[in-house]
A and B are shown apart, each in its own frame.
Chain A
């Protein structure tokens, strides 16, 4: 079954209908890890949150969002609450924002289960089991502790334990390791992958880090200015980027391995959809852009292992 299907999602806000997302399509299969990458303001978080029916205040949505069979944009309040409680979980960048600082970790972990009618004792047993699964050394002690008694990495493990407590069909991970040290990131990513595999959970992994996405994702979507500009298998994205933006990102990133290559700066700065030029939003920063790029938003075409929204996908700069 498909864990998440976002089709032609468009979002605007306010009386002026300021555009935020346009024609976004994202699919996550059961047990699949799918990356959503792009620079700040490209619309990654808006896209991920749409899967929970969390839209900005005053936003109008077009298109379709389906999670484990539920039509999210058409769903009522109760249905959405039920969906969030049982089918979809989310892990954010800052674990401290996700947990109530004055409640014990045990309460945090058992409340979702209790709400589903699991008896207190069984919920506690389940919480202990989850804490052990995410690698806490003293699960019983952890239940009685408060969030501030944990380091960021340990607390993120607690949040992941909570997110997986209900065995959701879909896990939305929005920059879940961005605030962590690299070694802790590696551990948390290893944990997410392991648990996801064990439970067959589909994961949408949102990150600004292209290397990270390419390293752990089956497929990756690249976003720029509120649109998907490329979709490719993780490995292919790295080896043979099709969209000039993806290529620019790779060439701008220094690397620790291989030959030491010059970084290539991209002119300008990332833009939101509202600020972007008409036609291809990347054209004012693109080394390949021509007059034709201004005419319309480029449709998606296949190039190698990628789908890219570019008239010149795969071409070399002159």
Chain B
């Protein structure tokens, strides 16, 4: 079972690497694809990537550990990132933080036991005029209130995709 999973992972990586052009410059785009599809970059994946790009696994690991949006260990299906930088802090991020913690029963940096949610801090994402801001996977939410936080978490519980959230917000 595990073997075949790794096998498909490997085939996918090889395919993407061919598409992107097998050079060490494609490291980031390749990692992003793996991250997007598998929501984490496993040690096995890192070693396959290193082999394909003719670099060392530790170099891949170094890049993965550098970027917050790449991770080597699986995170929750929904990764909620609340901005902690000064503008958002001043517009009331603490209330949102408390709400999220109560709602999910976990602290920042943790993942719920059912692997649904991961709660994290992030730094400024350029939404300072619309603070407090947060992200759920790659969707940004602005002008957060505790009620809105509750609603978003509820909606995540009921759906399986962050895109459902996005449509709702845009709509």
A pairs with B: no
B→A interface (CB under 8 Å): none
A→B interface (CB under 8 Å): none
